[in-house]
Structure 1
Amino acid sequence: MNRFEYVRADTIADAIAALAQSAEARVLAGGTNLVDLMKYDVAKPSRVVDINRLPLKEVADTENGGLKIGALVSNSDLAWHPQIVKRFPLLASAILAGASPQLRNAATTGGNLLQRTRCYYFYDSSTPCNKRTPGSGCGAIGGVNRIHAIFGASESCIAVHPSDMCIALAALDAEVEVEGVKGRRLIPFEQFHRLPETTPERDNTLEQGDLVTAVILPATDFGSHHTYLKIRDRLSYAFALVSVAVGMTMEDGVIADLRLAMGGVAHKPWRNKVLEKTLHGAEVNKASFRHFAEEALRGAKGQGQNDFKIALARRTIVRALTQAARGTPQDQSDKTFR
């Protein structure tokens, strides 16, 4: 582990100032990802800015009927918060599908957004990785790529975003509140994370000195017509091979509104808003869901070992749409398919 300066911020302004002074400064909240990266000699920050004293641990109502979630709210507290369970059960379900109880107790809302990929080559500093060392090459292309992207990959990187929570936030049309040297701004969730293109070292659209302070959820009520379905190699403490978050509004037996985001398939949560509209007004049946899944996977490209993800994603979409339409969301406790 390299030597670094430790700064404990007492105010948001202090944190922004400390981050703005160095491009290699990093934020420390729960530390569940950053500390691992530092131990593996993947992250080498010149300065670590501890923000745990900042007043960012509340979940509060917004004027338009939504919720504002502080960046330091732990994943456990968020998943079991009464207002999240009641009004945003899709988010609660996605959080409970991720990590372990011990990690959820430490991990934070803001940190979850900023966690980095779990690509084997990214974590192994002895192998080439454009995300870790730009210009060194991508070991996963032509290498071990079973867990890698089928959408949005580039010649520089085929890694996937690892979060479960972020897939639900994408489906919920969340916004990310950021404060920085240029002031406060809101970033639509679909614009927060980036595809790799030629700069895979950049996971998101934050600028130097920016600090994530909250996540804003708009008023959304899917009732029981939602699900978070996560397919993985084992039932606990494993990242998604494919995951699907669905929120659906039903009127007179047909679909009035649909939100669907996928995880484990791209460098960011993957969503196709144009395609979602094709199911507006559609009757609930397997034929329409299968057609939707076929269209959703159009353009997907495997890398050899992960070709199976394309067929797996089709089936997962159909099952998730069926669960949401029936009002039988996936139970993250027993994980039995319904």
Structure 2
Amino acid sequence: MKSFTYERAATPAAAATAAARTPATRFIAGGTNLLDLMKLQIETPTHLIDVNRIGLDKIEPSKDGGLRIGALVRNTDLASDPRVRRDYGVLSRALLSGASGQLRNKATTAGNLLQRTRCPYFYDTTKPCNKRRPGTGCAAIGGFNRNLAVMGVSDHCIATHPSDMAIAMRVLDATIETIRPDGATRAIPIADFHRLPGDTPHIDTNLGAGELITAVTLPKPIGGTQIYQKVRDRASYAFALISVAAVIERGGRGRLAFGGLAHKPWRVEAAEARISAGPKATADAVLAGARTTPQNAFKLPLVERTLAAVFTQAQTRSDT
């Protein structure tokens, strides 16, 4: 790990202002991803700003009947909150399917949204990676890419987004609140928050320099049968090959978001109109334009089978 300087911020505005003063600054809270990246010298910040004491650790009702989740709310606390379990069950289930209990106790809402890909070539500093070092190439293309992306990929990167929580927040139409170094605030729909790789795969989100996440808001509860189905190579502590966050209503209406498919949470809203036609029709619409490799082509039929399991669960629950 390279040397760095450190400070503690007292307020969100102070944290954002401090970030603008020093180049190569990173915010740190739980540190469950950042510290690993620093040890491998994938991330080499010269300055860390500790944001644990800026008071963003509450879950509160929002004015429109939803919830406002502070950026520093720990994943364990969010998953176990009675309001989340009752009204946003897909989010609670997604959180509990990720990482381990120890990591969920430390990981924060903002940090979960900002975690970086687990593509093996991103972590192997002996291999070229456009996400780690722009312009060096993508070793995953033509390499071991069984668990990598099939949607929204580019000739520069086929990495996937690792978060389970973000997939559930995408299906719930969450909004990310931020503050900039000049004190301006903004609200970013989660659909616009994460980026596809294009020719700049090293840029994961649409945050500006020094911009700090302060909260995530969920709209008022939408009801329906909420399911998070995750397919992975082992039963725990593994990232998704495919995951589906679903909110299914009676009459074949619903919402679907997918993990394990793309560089960002993947949702094709036009495909949701096909739910009543069954898993194959829905999967075909979701996967239109897919670009596969011989190793990861299995993901396409896996999406259909996972959707079939989700639709069966939804039907079973609605009948009881």
Give the match for residue 278 of structure 2.
Answer: 288
Contact 1:178 1:212 (C-alpha < 8 Å) held by counterparts: yes
Alpha-carbon distance, 1:304 to partner: 2.2
1:101-123 deviation digits (Å, cap 9, x = unpaired)? 00000000000000000011101
Count of residue correspondences: 317
Alpha-carbon distance, 1:18 to partner: 1.4
Alpha-carbon distance, 1:168 to partner: 0.2
Contact 1:129 1:136 (C-alpha < 8 Å) held by counterparts: yes
Match of 1:277 among 268, 273, 292: 273
Give the match for residue 71 of structure 2.
Answer: 71
Give the match for residue 321 of structure 1.
Answer: 311
- The separation in 2 between residues aligned to 1:293 and 1:131, in whole angstroms, is 29
- The separation in 2 between residues aligned to 1:268 and 1:314, in whole angstroms, is 20
Give the match for residue 311 of structure 1.
Answer: 301
Give the match for residue 62 of structure 2.
Answer: 62
Structure 2 letter corresponding to 1:167:
I
Alpha-carbon distance, 1:3 to partner: 1.2
- 5 Å matches for 1:1-12? 1-12=1-12
Give the match for residue 189 of structure 2.
Answer: 188
Q: After the TM superposition, which of the residue ranges 178-187 and 292-301 deviates more from structure 2?
A: 292-301
- 5 Å matches for 1:176-325? 176-182=176-182, 183-223=184-224, 225-250=225-250, 254-255=251-252, 257-279=253-275, 282=276, 288-325=278-315
1:208-262 deviation digits (Å, cap 9, x = unpaired)? 0100010000012324x11100000000100000000001222xxx13x411000
Contact 1:20 1:208 (C-alpha < 8 Å) held by counterparts: yes
SS, match of residue 26 in structure 2:
strand
- The separation in 2 between residues aligned to 1:132 and 1:239, in whole angstroms, is 20
Contact 1:23 1:208 (C-alpha < 8 Å) held by counterparts: no
Which stretches in structure 1 are left out of the alignment for 5+ residues? 329-338
Question: RMSD of the alignment, in Å?
Answer: 1.3
- The separation in 2 between residues aligned to 1:293 and 1:153, in whole angstroms, is 18
- The separation in 1 between residues aligned to 2:10 and 2:181, in whole angstroms, is 17
1:163 aligns with 2:163: yes
Alpha-carbon distance, 1:323 to partner: 1.7
Contact 1:246 1:324 (C-alpha < 8 Å) held by counterparts: no
- The separation in 2 between residues aligned to 1:294 and 1:186, in whole angstroms, is 33
Contact 1:162 1:264 (C-alpha < 8 Å) held by counterparts: yes
SS, match of residue 268 in structure 1:
coil
Give the match for residue 130 of structure 1.
Answer: 130
- The separation in 1 between residues aligned to 2:64 and 2:269, in whole angstroms, is 23
1:146 aligns with 2:146: yes
Q: 1:278 to 1:307 in 2, by over 3 A?
A: closer
- The separation in 2 between residues aligned to 1:289 and 1:137, in whole angstroms, is 36
Contact 2:279 2:304 (C-alpha < 8 Å) held by counterparts: no
- The separation in 2 between residues aligned to 1:325 and 1:161, in whole angstroms, is 29
Give the match for residue 173 of structure 2.
Answer: 173
Give the match for residue 332 of structure 1.
Answer: none
Contact 2:9 2:49 (C-alpha < 8 Å) held by counterparts: yes
- The separation in 2 between residues aligned to 1:19 and 1:314, in whole angstroms, is 45
Which stretches in structure 2 are left out of the alignment for 5+ residues? none
Moved >3 Å (runs of 4+): none
- The separation in 1 between residues aligned to 2:19 and 2:152, in whole angstroms, is 30
Structure 1 letter corresponding to 2:316:
R
- The separation in 2 between residues aligned to 1:321 and 1:247, in whole angstroms, is 10
SS, match of residue 190 in structure 1:
helix
Q: After the TM superposition, which of the residue ranges 307-316 and 59-68 deviates more from structure 2?
A: 307-316
Alpha-carbon distance, 1:45 to partner: 0.5
Q: After the TM superposition, which of the residue ranges 49-58 and 20-29 deviates more from structure 2?
A: 20-29
Give the match for residue 108 of structure 1.
Answer: 108
- The separation in 1 between residues aligned to 2:117 and 2:191, in whole angstroms, is 18
Provide the identity percentage: 50
SS, match of residue 176 in structure 2:
strand
Alpha-carbon distance, 1:23 to partner: 4.3
1:49-97 deviation digits (Å, cap 9, x = unpaired)? 1000011000000111000000000000000011111111110000000
Contact 2:274 2:281 (C-alpha < 8 Å) held by counterparts: no
Contact 1:7 1:18 (C-alpha < 8 Å) held by counterparts: no
- The separation in 1 between residues aligned to 2:21 and 2:157, in whole angstroms, is 29
Q: 1:262 to 1:155 in 2, by over 3 A?
A: same
Give the match for residue 335 of structure 1.
Answer: none
SS, match of residue 271 in structure 1:
coil
Alpha-carbon distance, 1:147 to partner: 1.1
